Amino acid sequence: MVRVITQETYDDVVKENMNEFDMSPEEAIKEAIAQFEAQGVDLSNIIKDLNLNTGEEHLVSLTVKKLKELSNAGQNNDELVLEQLDILMKECNKDIAHRVRAGKEGIYTVLINLLEAKQKSYLKINDAKDAAIIIKVLNTLISLMDSQPDLLDRRGVEIIKKNLDEIDDESILIATLKWAALCCVKHEMNRQMIFGIGIGRNLKNLLNKTNNEQLITECLQVIRKLTLDDDVRVEFGRAHEHARELGAELLDTLTRLLENNMKPPLVCDMMCTIACLLVRHELCALAAERGATLLFTVLADNYDDLTVIHQATKLITALAGNDDVKRQLVKCGIVPIIVSLLSRFASNATVTAQTLRCVSALALREPAHGRLLLDCGAPEPLAHCLKMHPRNAAVQKNGCWAIRNMVARCRDYNSKFKELGIEDILNQTYAIFSQDFGFDIKSALRDLDCEVKLDEQWTGKGVQMTN
């Protein structure tokens, strides 16, 4: 079990080392860290580099105190506020310990109060000074809440909504969206609060009216973060529901944007975001109706760009979740392109793993697609990829799935795979990854008609059963 201590306990030990043992500040800190680590104490949330020349308080605490005083003082202190916000941002950017300290000192409430006051003033007179402070406060909140999104409350969500509803300044909107996206990471309740204010409509309006690439990128970032399911504290999240509703509301807008933005990096964000939303058959069909043919143009225009290829194959895999869309893609000629990509980018493990997953999706439950993949020469690059990345779990697992789906109902090419040495490759993979996905490896060997020892999962005890 991990042990934790308070900042005060750590500070007291450092001071004791200095006063009782006549150590220098550097020696006292080093000794305190060694003492606590030897006891198994987690120091990740402790500020270790004490500013011992500032008296009894840390610089973080002093800055928070000054900001509280300035926020209560009224007007004519904007320059001092900006100066203290700069100091706080630098401290928060150092590590999580500084951010935790600032949070415990109550800085979140101070920043929200300041933000509400400046937001109200800005909406009245549209002053550039107020806009500058709003942006600075939002950026400070981003620094403060990195890895501690628990600080967000209903007031913060209302500020996000009000900014998106009533402010047109793109710099403020960008900072607001960055803050919203950060609050969604590893925090299911924040995602539900932000989704619940109807942010989907705001995102749609922004995407429809702006040409600012950075603003579009931040909108896409928020969409993706709302579909995460990464909060281990929650047994069941609403990622699927969020993706379904956002997909119904935004897919038409996103496919139109994709049509007008075929170059990286924006095209990568577009494809990644669309893929995140394709969680139902009707959404796949809706995306394919306008966007399927665009994939061929994107691949043709960016054939050498690793990031584009990775996101494009991810989108194809998502679209293939709908069998009708999958058949349409194959009919349009996607198979030879995928096989060529598998060969062309074999040296890159990430792209290879995703391309193999795409092969697996295209061949799933479709014997005709499996045969077409085999006829287009898929076995050679597939075997080559498995040989090149013997210790990459994603490559090996996706490769096993691809082999299974291609040959399960088309055993004619088993001999071809065997000639390429696939049996030895898979046996070597089993020796490394038997505990992780041994069943998938054995299933591929079984469908290739290779010798494989299948474990009996359950055996009876030989006792006669009676009613």
Partnered with residue 41 across adjacent β-strands are: 3
**pTM (predicted TM-score):** 0.90
CATH code at position 374? 1.25.10.10
The two structure tokens encoding residue 333 = 């000629």
Q: Which residues pair with 3 in a beta bridge?
A: 41
Helix (H, G, I), strand (E, B) or coil at 31: helix
Looking at the fold, whether 414 and 398 belong to one and the same domain comes out as yes
Q: Are residues 94 and 3 in the same domain?
A: no
**298 within some domain:** no
Alpha-carbon distance 167 to 131, whole Å? 10
Residue 455 lies in a domain: no
Examine the domain organization and report whether 30 and 125 are in the same domain.
Answer: no
Residue 69: the pLDDT is: 92
For 132, phi and psi rounded to 5 degrees? Answer: -65, -40
User: pLDDT tens-digit profile of 382-410?
Assistant: 999 999 999 999 999 999 999 999 998 88
Q: Is the pLDDT of residue 433 over 60?
A: yes
| One-letter-per-residue 3-state SS of 297-356 | HHHHHCCCCHHHHHHHHHHHHHHCCCHHHHHHHHHCCHHHHHHHHHHHCCCCHHHHHHHH
Give the model's pLDDT for residue 46.
84
Residue 241 lies in a domain: no
Same domain, yes or no, for 44 and 64? no
Q: Are residues 24 and 101 in the same domain?
A: no
| Residues 63 and 134 placed together within one structural domain of the fold | yes
99, 117, 151: which is the final residue of a domain? 151
Given this model, what pLDDT does residue 292 score?
A: 81
Query: Is 341 inside any structural domain?
Result: yes
Looking at the fold, whether 73 and 33 belong to one and the same domain comes out as no
Contact status, residue 214 vs residue 174, Cβ threshold 8 Å: yes
Give the tokens for residue 194.
């932000």
| Contact indicator for 111, 144 with CB cutoff of 8 Å | yes
**Are residues 34 and 123 both part of a single domain?**
no
For residue 302, being part of any structural domain is answered with no
More confident residue, 333 or 71: 333
- Which of 413-439 are b and which e, b meaning 16 or more Cβ less than 10 Å from the residue's Cβ? bbebbeebebbebbebbbeebeeebee
What mean pLDDT is predicted for residues 31-51? 82
8 falls within a domain: yes
Confidence of residue 53 (pLDDT cuts 50, 70, 90): very low
Give the pLDDT confidence score for residue 467 in this predicted structure: 63
Rounded to the nearest 5 percent, the helix, strand and coil shares of the chain are 75, 0, 25
Give residue 62's identity as a one-letter amino acid code.
L
Q: What is the pLDDT of residues 219-270, one digit of tens each?
A: 999 999 999 999 999 999 999 999 999 999 999 999 999 999 999 999 999 9
Average pLDDT value for the chain: 92
Tell me, yes or no, whether 17 and 106 share the same domain.
no
Instruction: Give the sign of the dihedral formed by CA 267, CA 272, CA 276, CA 279.
Output: positive
Residue 424 located in a structural domain? yes
Whether 210 is in a domain gets the answer no
Same domain, yes or no: 132 and 61: yes
pLDDT value for 28: 86
Last residue of a domain, one of 135, 151, 167: 151
Domain identity same for 49 and 68? no
What pLDDT is stored for residue 54 in this prediction? 41
Within 8 A by CB and 6+ apart from 223, the residues are 203, 246, 250, 273, 276, 277
| Distance separating alpha carbons of residues 199 and 242, to the nearest angstrom | 11
How far is residue 325 from each of residues 195, 268, 293, measured CA to CA in Å?
Answer: 29, 21, 11
Tokens 């392109």: give the residue: 337
Q: Total domain count for the chain?
A: 3
Q: What is the pLDDT of residues 278-319, one digit of tens each?
A: 999 999 999 998 778 889 999 999 999 999 999 999 999 999
pLDDT at 111: 97
Claim to verify: residue 83 and residue 49 sit in the same structural domain: no
Q: What is the average per-residue pLDDT within 101-118?
A: 95
Amino acid 50: pLDDT? 61
Report which of 18, 88, 11 is spatially closest to residue 48, judged by C-alpha positions.
11
Out of 126, 151, 176, a domain closes at 151
Q: Which domain holds residue 429?
A: 333-450
pLDDT in tens, 154-205: 999 999 999 999 999 999 999 999 999 999 999 999 999 999 999 999 999 9
pLDDT digits (tens, 9 = 90+) for 130-157: 999 999 999 999 999 999 999 999 999 9
Instruction: Report yes or no: 376 and 339 within 8 Å, Cβ to Cβ.
Output: yes
The amino acid at 322:
N
